[in-house]
């Protein structure tokens, strides 16, 4: 392993582990409760028990009221569905969008295993590039972090629909799916609708500030990182600035509207602002208004 990569993994391990432990652990637990109830045992009815829990077959056999006891199915499966297309390798600040995505993914992974949940990973471009089945160990999460930081996709573009369809095939048990992307992509609403009927889908949108407001530099040559197309733009032109801002904000607004229509979650992360308060707010709302 390259020394630079080792240092990055260690830094993210220390930083995100602390965030997951000290700041987000309780909120995560409250936001993502067990996905059902599992029968545990029967016992004699006691004053105050809900009569709806009476086990009538056992009661009739014993000539005395008995109730069913259930326990919450606590263990969850969390899948990180991460966009590693070329557009995520852009960044106008200290870190690229891909690095911010890796950091947020690490926070979610550590939050999950501290809650005894399993974590899996799917990295995608226009194809599914890597699939790591769910597991719950710290060593496993460190592997997830390593892949988030170091993996380079073979393809440049983005196909979220194909990644969602793949998850639907490999994950039969209900899971919490965090979809991390900049959402510069073709329509994927059909696949999202299918997945959201069975899984808990949460989209996390990552936006760099230069995608909503570009410096006025007069003429500039800009390249689309996914298509490779190069164009000359007058960045001081008001129409260019307006068009850029509108396109980016519309994309974010459309993603939120889609998730709202599916009963899914949406988290809007801006790279020039701290992401922890945004995650905290989302977890708090989810604990009050669960899916």
Whether residue 181 sits in one domain with residue 51:
no
Segments forming the whole domain that contains residue 14: 3-29+78-288
Extract the tokens encoding 63: 């000539």
Residue 29 confidence (pLDDT) above 90: no
How confident is the model at residue 75, as a pLDDT?
74
Q: Of 23, 34, 22, 13, which is closest to residue 76 (Cα–Cα)?
A: 34
Q: How far is CA 253 from CA 142, 249, 268, in A?
A: 34, 6, 10
SS3 133: strand
Q: Which residue has the higher pLDDT, 67 or 187?
A: 187
Residue 214 confidence (pLDDT) above 70: yes
Whether residue 259 sits in one domain with residue 178:
yes
Whether residue 44 sits in one domain with residue 24:
no
How confident is the model at residue 22, as a pLDDT?
75
* Alpha-carbon span 58 to 69, nearest angstrom: 13
Whether residue 53 sits in one domain with residue 193:
no
Q: What is the mean pLDDT of the chain?
A: 89
How confident is the model at residue 206, as a pLDDT?
98
How confident is the model at residue 268, as a pLDDT?
98
Whether residue 120 sits in one domain with residue 43:
no
Q: What is the pLDDT of residues 138-180, one digit of tens each?
A: 899 999 999 999 999 999 999 999 999 999 999 988 899 999 9
Whether residue 261 sits in one domain with residue 178:
yes
Number of domains in the chain: 2
Give exposure, 77-102, as e/b (b: 16+ Cβ within 10 Å).
bbbbbbbbbbbbbbbeeeebbbbbbb
How confident is the model at residue 281, as a pLDDT?
93
How confident is the model at residue 47, as a pLDDT?
84
Find the DSSP H helices in the chain: 3-18, 25-31, 56-62, 97-114, 138-150, 160-170, 189-196, 238-262, 276-288
Computed on alpha carbons and rounded to an integer, the radius of gyration of the chain in Å comes to 23
**pTM, 2 dp:** 0.84
Q: What is the pLDDT of residues 106-144, one digit of tens each?
A: 999 999 998 889 999 999 999 999 999 999 998 999 999
Bridge-based pairing state of the strands 219-223 and 230-234:
antiparallel
Q: What are phi and psi of 207, to 5 degrees?
A: -130, 130
How confident is the model at residue 39, as a pLDDT?
59
């Amino acid at each position: 392993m390259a020394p630079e990569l080792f240092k990055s993994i260690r830094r993210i391990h220390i930083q995100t582990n602390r965030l997951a432990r000290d700041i987000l652990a309780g909120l995560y637990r409250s936001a993502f409760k067990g996905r059902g109830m599992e029968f545990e045992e029967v016992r004699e009815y006691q004053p105050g028990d809900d009569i709806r829990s009476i086990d009538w077959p056992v009661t009739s056999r014993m000539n005395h009221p008995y109730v069913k006891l259930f326990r919450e199915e606590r263990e969850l499966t969390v899948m990180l569905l991460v966009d590693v297309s070329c557009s995520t390798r852009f960044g106008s600040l200290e870190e690229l969008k891909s690095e911010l995505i890796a950091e947020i993914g690490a926070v979610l992974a550590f939050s999950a295993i501290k809650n005894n949940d399993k974590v899996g990973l799917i990295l995608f471009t226009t194809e599914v590039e890597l699939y790591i089945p769910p597991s719950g160990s710290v060593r496993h999460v460190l592997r997830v972090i390593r892949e988030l930081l170091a993996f380079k996709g073979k393809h440049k573009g983005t196909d979220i629909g194909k990644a969602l369809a793949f998850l639907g095939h490999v994950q039969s048990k209900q899971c919490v799916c965090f979809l991390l992307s900049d959402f510069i992509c073709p329509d994927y609403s059909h696949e999202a609708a299918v997945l959201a009927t069975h899984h808990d889908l949460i989209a996390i949108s990552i936006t760099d500030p230069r995608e909503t407001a570009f410096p006025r530099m007069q003429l500039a040559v800009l390249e689309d990182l996914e298509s490779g197309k190069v164009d000359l733009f007058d960045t001081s032109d008001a129409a260019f600035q307006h068009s850029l801002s509108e396109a980016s904000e519309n994309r974010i607004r459309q993603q939120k509207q889609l998730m709202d229509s599916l009963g899914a979650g949406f988290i809007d992360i801006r790279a020039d602002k701290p992401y922890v308060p945004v995650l905290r707010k989302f977890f708090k709302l989810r604990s009050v208004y669960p899916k």
